[in-house]
Amino acid sequence: MEEETHTDAKIRAENGTGSSPRGPGCSLRHFACEQNLLSRPDGSASFLQGDTSVLAGVYGPAEVKVSKEIFNKATLEVILRPKIGLPGVAEKSRERLIRNTCEAVVLGTLHPRTSITVVLQVVSDAGSLLACCLNAACMALVDAGVPMRALFCGVACALDSDGTLVLDPTSKQEKLQQCLAAAQAASQHVFRFYRESLQRRYSKS
Amino acid sequence: MKETPLSNCERRFLLRAIEEKKRLDGRQTYDYRNIRISFGTDYGCCIVELGKTRVLGQVSCELVSPKLNRATEGILFFNLELSQMAAPAFEPGRQSDLLVKLNRLMERCLRNSKCIDTESLCVVAGEKVWQIRVDLHLLNHDGNIIDAASIAAIVALCHFRRPDVSVQGDEVTLYTPEERDPVPLSIHHMPICVSFAFFQQGTYLLVDPNEREERVMDGLLVIAMNKHREICTIQSSGGIMLLKDQVLRCSKIAGVKVAEITELILKALENDQKVRKEGGKFGFAESIANQRITAFKMEKAPIDTSDVEEKAEEIIAEAEPPSEVVSTPVLWTPGTAQIGEGVENSWGDLEDSEKEDDEGGGDQAIILDGIKMDTGVEVSDIGSQDSEEEEMIILEPDKNPKKIRTQTTSAKQEKAPSKKPVKRRKKKRAAN
């Protein structure tokens, strides 16, 4: 299966327990994933990265309201719920990002006039939340059996902000590219994790 | 999504089985499903599983000014949310009846029973009190939401620790968790709801109905009780007539069940406390069973990032140069300004496109990018832009912002007040 990476670089201090943001020898935190843990959704997955945990549920392909239906492909909807309080603007922007990622990857044209709904619930947040959401969404879509052209994963990368970085766009871009390259290396690891977890589930032994 | 209707065969089958004292999952009439309680890493976070019904509970606190008529009491706020993943029928507009009923019941059970000592939440009388907020999210709906939610709420409240505060004269010091250990809430008793489902006009009853049984039931009786056999709340819904001795019998059953559940809760809290004190691993990661084939774990893994700089150079070499970023607004004509990336219009020659007469002297179509989702990362192959819906606002000197949707995912007719968007769309397709 072709592996596509969608990485996001953020300029904020990473306060997770594992990875240090710079230098060779970054490491990813401890991973865990459980699939098919909810009985009602068609597919569900709980993804844990260190202390950050996100639960994803997928319904689809299912009935769609006439106002929302698209004649030649599936309508993809992503809903992200925070743990405390009502969803706000940050959730909306993350939903948008996750939806764009999913739409690029899900073969919507195989199920026209249907809806595929991905519901994400933040269970605990200890850094790299968006990456965890993306991973949980991918595992849940796989569990639901939604046809996809590739897998996707999220890896969060942090930059330390000092004066020169913010003012000069070129060098900021360079650092960004280093982030991207580092994240690409890390994503290989995430894909290996996906592969092994599915191998365990679907192997005959 | 509409709920799939229950077929008549299934309904008749369930009712016949109940008449013969049989339940689909093999339980007895008064049996509860397995209750499993797991805690997260931060205090006040727990997940309760009642059979397959799953509820996530989180308690948080904040310092606020108290209500005017209760100046020395803290504030309790409960919020139960039926997440859309719990059942396909739970859509934002559709669940109001059930949601209101459940929220009301939760409030009566926990607030009116005074299980939390609100006087102890007062910091400075009339000025600062603690507001305790309990958020419950239903993750999977397999019947009996109210029981699972009440257990989750009381477990989360018992597990929660609030920051320590000390008042010395006029000075109030709020300690962080690092400075002083956070303090548990003062809880008098633990009210737990027990649900009874009635069938055939009150002839048969079942404890802890699951989702199928709830669909065919005639009425529901909910009794909230604590282990001291005090009834905190009692509610009967569905309009069935119950006899006095039926209700009394239910309350006796509830007493027994609540005692068992309370013991389970206390044991779970004690276990978690012990693990935390001994420094062992705690949190949701530990509650994922290792032996299941649907679960998988991987340890911390180092990533080799030594060749990151060379790879970065390669990406930069292949990528297009980034567009110029203008950080201060550039005013072109009165009412038309531009900020952000790309000073020049990169969509090609639009001089022969119909310019509005009231556009002013500008010879290029200047677009104000209302919403920009990407953070400006330049990656060569991102094909996900095609289905983006961008709302563009064109400011004109007569100060009428026109909202134009340039590209929508559906083929519906969008409002195109000027010809410019039409031209633009064609050009974009040509570029792809």
Residue B97 Cα distances to B93, B102, B211, B213, angstroms:
10, 9, 17, 19
pLDDT per residue as tens digits for the range B119-156 = 999 998 888 899 999 999 999 999 999 999 999 999 99
B36, B81, B296, B297: which to substitute to probe chain A, counting the most A Cβ within 10 Å? B296
Residue B319 has a pLDDT of: 67
pLDDT band at B428 (very low <50, low <70, confident <90, very high): very low
Which of B315, B385, B388 comes nearest A181 by C-beta? B315
Which of these, B199, B193, B204, lies nearest to B238 by C-alpha position?
B199
Query: Measured between CB atoms, does B281 come within 8 Å of chain A?
Result: no
pLDDT band at B332 (very low <50, low <70, confident <90, very high): confident
Residue B174 has a pLDDT of: 87
pLDDT per residue as tens digits for the range A26-76 = 566 778 899 999 999 999 999 988 888 999 999 989 999 899 999 999 999
Place of tokens 């709020």: B174
Instruction: Name every chain A residue with its beta carbon within 8 A of the beta carbon of B312.
Output: 174, 177-178, 180-181
Whether residues A197 and B56 touch (CB distance < 8 A) is answered with no
| pLDDT mean across residues, chain B | 79
Chain A nearest-CA residue for B385: A100
> Nearest-CA distance from B230 to chain A in Å?
31
Helices (H), B84-210: 96-110, 145-159
pLDDT per residue as tens digits for the range B60-119 = 999 999 999 989 999 999 999 999 999 988 887 788 889 999 999 999 999 999 999 999
Which of A27, A28, A181 comes nearest B308 by C-beta? A181
Number of Cβ atoms within 10 Å of the Cβ of B212? 18
Number of Cβ atoms within 10 Å of the Cβ of B40? 26
The ipTM is 0.74
| Model confidence at B270: pLDDT above 80 | yes
Q: What is the mean pLDDT of residues B49-59?
A: 95
* Beta strands at B75-82 and B128-140: parallel, antiparallel or unpaired: parallel
Which of B2, B86, B410 comes nearest A40 by C-beta? B86
Query: Measured between CB atoms, does B392 come within 8 Å of chain A?
Result: no
Residue type, B284: F
Query: Measured between CB atoms, does B410 come within 8 Å of chain A?
Result: yes
Residue B341 has a pLDDT of: 64
| Model confidence at B335: pLDDT above 60 | yes
Whether residues A174 and B383 touch (CB distance < 8 A) is answered with no
DSSP B308-335: HHHHHHHHHHHSPPPPPEEEEEEEEETT
A121, A152, A189: which to substitute to probe chain B, counting the most B Cβ within 10 Å? A121
Which of B58, B301, B377 comes nearest A9 by C-beta? B377
| Model confidence at A200: pLDDT above 70 | yes
Query: Measured between CB atoms, does B378 come within 8 Å of chain A?
Result: yes
Instruction: Name every chain A residue with its beta carbon within 8 A of the beta carbon of B85.
Output: 38, 40-41, 44, 55-57, 59, 119, 121
Place of tokens 């796989």: A142
Q: What is the mean pLDDT of residues B395-401?
A: 51
Measured CA to CA, the distance from residue A62 to residue A119 in angstroms comes to 14
pLDDT per residue as tens digits for the range A101-149 = 999 999 999 999 999 999 999 998 877 788 889 999 999 999 999 999 9
Which of B140, B300, B312 comes nearest A177 by C-beta? B312
Instruction: Name every chain B residue with its beta carbon within 8 A of the beta carbon of A174.
Output: 312, 316
Least confident residue range of A183-187, A194-198, B167-171, B237-241: A183-187
Whether residues A81 and B316 touch (CB distance < 8 A) is answered with no
Report the run of H or E that residue B211 belongs to, with start and end. Answer: helix B211-216
Dihedral over alpha carbons B48, B49, B53, B54 (to 10 degrees)? 50
The 3-state secondary structure of B43-66 reads CCEEEEEECCEEEEEEEEEEEECC
How many CB contacts within 8 angstroms connect chain A with chain B? 202
Whether residues B292 and A34 touch (CB distance < 8 A) is answered with yes
Residue B430 has a pLDDT of: 43
DSSP annotation of B200 = T
Which of these, A148, A149, A119, lies nearest to A136 by C-alpha position?
A119
Which of these, A6, A23, A22, lies nearest to A159 by C-alpha position?
A22
Whether residues B137 and A26 touch (CB distance < 8 A) is answered with no
Residues in chain A: 205
pLDDT band at B405 (very low <50, low <70, confident <90, very high): very low
Whether residues B379 and A96 touch (CB distance < 8 A) is answered with no
Whether residues B305 and A24 touch (CB distance < 8 A) is answered with yes
Measured CA to CA, the distance from residue B78 to residue B222 in angstroms comes to 18
For residues B138 and B80, is the Cβ–Cβ distance under 8 A? yes
Query: Measured between CB atoms, does B315 come within 8 Å of chain A?
Result: yes
> Nearest-CA distance from B413 to chain A in Å?
13
Whether residues B294 and A201 touch (CB distance < 8 A) is answered with yes
Measured CA to CA, the distance from residue B26 to residue B209 in angstroms comes to 12
Whether residues A83 and B56 touch (CB distance < 8 A) is answered with yes
DSSP annotation of B32 = P
pLDDT per residue as tens digits for the range A5-21 = 333 333 222 222 333 33
Residue B179 has a pLDDT of: 87
Which of these, B199, B194, B193, lies nearest to B212 by C-alpha position?
B199
Instruction: Name every chain A residue with its beta carbon within 8 A of the beta carbon of B81.
Output: 81
Instruction: Name every chain A residue with its beta carbon within 8 A of the beta carbon of B297.
Output: 30-33
